[in-house]
């Protein structure tokens, strides 16, 4: 069996939603200190709906495919739904990733959460802090 699914290869070769958004409503950037890869997510939000999303990923093919799929999964969705997106859902939508590449999909989940948190912070919107990883501990990004 091939190491990577057709979907992973497709999203790696033709990533959707690559780029930046000028005057984005929320921007999230996360990195994995183990591999050094970095992912940045830009959100345009109108009335709690993600009307546009773009990403820049400086990382491996799995991270690029994960970013691409994750942006597709949250585009047009309410923030409440985007917040429930897990790396598992991203991996499943890609028809799987090799075990040693699962951490790449974690970056996508965390980058989206970080961008939503940025939006909440910028707009002084109250939120449940427990839904966001504790940025003071590097726990969320070091579980490679």
Residues within the interface to ligand FES (CB under 6 A): 32, 35, 37, 59-60, 62-63, 101, 104, 107
Please confirm, yes or no, whether 138 is among the known catalytic residues. Answer: no
CB 120 within 8 A of CB 82: no
Using alpha carbons, list the distances in angstroms from residue 48 to 80, 122, 142.
8, 14, 30
* Annotated catalytic residue, options 35, 60, 141, 142: 35
CB-nearer residue toward ligand FES: 17 or 62: 62
Q: Which pair of tokens denotes residue 30?
A: 């996360």
CB-nearer residue toward ligand FES: 75 or 101: 101
**Coil vs helix vs strand at 30:** strand
CB 96 within 8 A of CB 66: no
Cα–Cα distance for residue pair 62/30, rounded to 1 Å: 15
Q: How far is the CB of 123 from ligand FES (least distance, A)?
A: 30
Q: How far is the CB of 115 from ligand FES (least distance, A)?
A: 17
CB-nearer residue toward ligand FES: 48 or 139: 139
Please confirm, yes or no, whether 35 is among the known catalytic residues. Answer: yes
**Positions marked catalytic:** 35, 104
């Amino acid at each position: 069996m091939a190491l990577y699914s057709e979907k992973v290869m497709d999203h790696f070769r033709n990533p959707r939603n690559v780029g930046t958004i000028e005057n984005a409503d929320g921007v999230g950037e996360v990195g994995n200190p183990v591999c050094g890869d970095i992912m940045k997510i830009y959100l345009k939000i109108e009335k709690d709906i993600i009307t546009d999303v773009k990403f820049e990923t400086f990382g491996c093919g799995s991270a690029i495919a994960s970013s691409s799929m994750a942006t597709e999964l949250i585009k047009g969705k309410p923030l409440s739904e985007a917040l429930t997106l897990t790396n598992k859902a991203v991996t499943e939508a890609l028809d799987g990733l090799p075990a040693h590449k699962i951490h790449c999909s974690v970056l996508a989940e965390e980058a989206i959460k970080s961008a939503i948190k940025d939006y909440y912070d910028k707009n002084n919107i109250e939120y449940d802090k427990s839904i966001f990883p504790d940025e003071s501990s590097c726990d969320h990004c070091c579980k490679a």
